[in-house]
Amino acid sequence: MKRASRIVLAAAVLAQYVGLVSAAQAGPAEQSILLAEGKALAEMHCSTCHAIGTSAASPLQVAPPFRTLGQKYDLDNLQEALAEGIAVGHPEMPQFEFSPEQSDALIAYLKSIQPQTKQH
């Protein structure tokens, strides 16, 4: 691998790591901004088909409401798919590819709207 390629690869890995650490260690103000960014991404890219809030049905009946995704998927595992590009086997869903920062924000938002289970 050429030196320039290694530098670019190292920079990309570092940027992704810094983004993940920043999201995990965000204070209340930063977390609020992160959630707002995630909600804005969901509204922009997903709300045509999915219910993106804590109530209401999805506009497209077969599209699961975002508040239920945590019941079917490990949301942390979706983060990689968001960054690499989500593509599914039906024509209604376009392919998406988000930056690591955008996927952090969207995952944080998704986690924030999942129903809380009662612990005994």
pLDDT in tens, the chain (120 residues): 444 434 433 444 334 444 444 555 668 889 999 999 999 999 999 999 999 999 999 999 989 999 999 998 889 888 877 877 766 555 677 777 889 999 999 999 999 999 986 444
For CA atoms 45, 72, 68, 114, the dihedral sign is negative
CA-nearest of 72, 73, 69 to 109 is 69
**CA separation for the pair 114, 116 (Å, rounded):** 6
Answer whether 0.85 is exceeded by the pTM.
Answer: no
